[in-house]
């Protein structure tokens, strides 16, 4: 891949944006006495960073080794060998704001057309929009030499440094985000999110402990959906149909 272009965008601008979002949401939480949906999505999105390197192994994605690597994470089975430290922040800014937008759009469409159901509203709004969002980010990122697809399955967009597959794994990940938005829209008759009820948030006393439990509930839910519909399918796809490559052993 050579030296990555605009390296500072990934390693400096992204983490700074992530940090500013955290500060904003903490100030907002202190003022309102609770975490907003945006804050919960930022925390949940950030918490999913560990899955990237496993999904990368299955999708043959190799990050540029010129990036600062995670000091605590060496080689582990079913992981891509390059694990940039900036992934932690990038999962927050990549998922947090757009998931907030997708929930708002899906809720709006559901109110306009309740016959679609919440899943239908999420599918129509989130499916194509997330696909375009990820397509744009990844196409430019591979052209900058930030990462590359060592093995490309199916049709792809080529650039000077790499090629980005336009069907797999992007379609599978887009579907997982549709399911995630649908899951995060589900509330019972009293307006309580089902996953918050499972973790007992509704019964907790208002305060810091309750908000930490909410953040935990959202993070576990988001991680579960992403793992079972994106990370695990990528790994299984490579195990059963893929090939071995020395770059991502």
Domain contains 208: yes
Q: How many domains does the chain have?
A: 1
Domain contains 209: yes
Phi-psi domain of 64 (left: phi exceeds 0; alpha: psi -120 through 50; beta: other): beta
Domain contains 92: yes
Encode pLDDT of 157-204 as tens digits: 887 787 889 999 999 999 999 999 999 999 988 889 999 999 999 889
Enumerate residues 6+ apart whose C-beta is below 8 A from 105: 125, 126, 129
Domain contains 179: yes
- pLDDT for position 164: 86
- Whole-prediction pTM: 0.94
Domain contains 246: no
Which structural domain, as residue segments, surrounds residue 181? 7-241
Domain contains 1: no
> Once rounded to an integer, what is the mean pLDDT over residues 107-128?
98
Domain contains 2: no
Domain contains 174: yes
Give the separation between CA 217 and CA 223, rounded to whole angstroms: 10
Cis peptide before 19 (omega within 30 of 0): no
Encode pLDDT of 43-95 as tens digits: 999 999 999 999 999 999 999 999 999 999 989 999 999 999 999 999 999 99
């Amino acid at each position: 891949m050579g030296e990555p272009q605009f390296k500072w965008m990934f390693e400096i601008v992204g983490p700074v944006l992530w940090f500013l979002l955290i500060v904003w949401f903490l100030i907002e939480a202190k003022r309102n006495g609770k975490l907003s949906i945006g804050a919960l999505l930022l925390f949940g999105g950030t918490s999913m960073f560990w899955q990237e390197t496993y999904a990368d192994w299955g999708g043959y994605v190799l990050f540029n080794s010129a990036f600062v690597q995670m000091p605590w994470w060496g080689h582990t089975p079913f992981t891509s060998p390059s694990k940039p430290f900036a992934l932690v922040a990038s999962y927050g800014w990549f998922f947090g704001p757009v998931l907030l937008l997708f929930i708002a759009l899906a809720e709006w469409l559901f109110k306009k057309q309740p016959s679609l159901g919440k899943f239908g509203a999420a599918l129509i709004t989130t499916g194509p929009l997330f696909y375009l969002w990820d397509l744009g980010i990844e196409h430019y990122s591979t052209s900058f030499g930030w990462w590359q697809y060592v093995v490309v399955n199916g049709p792809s967009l080529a650039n000077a440094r790499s090629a980005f597959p336009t069907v797999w794994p992007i379609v599978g990940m887009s579907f997982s985000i549709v399911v995630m938005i649908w899951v995060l829209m589900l509330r019972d008759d009293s307006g309580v999110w089902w996953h918050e009820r499972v973790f007992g948030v509704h019964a907790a006393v208002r305060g810091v402990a309750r908000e930490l439990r909410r953040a935990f509930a959202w993070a576990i839910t988001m991680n579960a959906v992403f793992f079972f519909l994106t990370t695990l399918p990528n790994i299984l796809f490579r195990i059963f149909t893929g090939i071995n490559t020395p770059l991502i052993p």
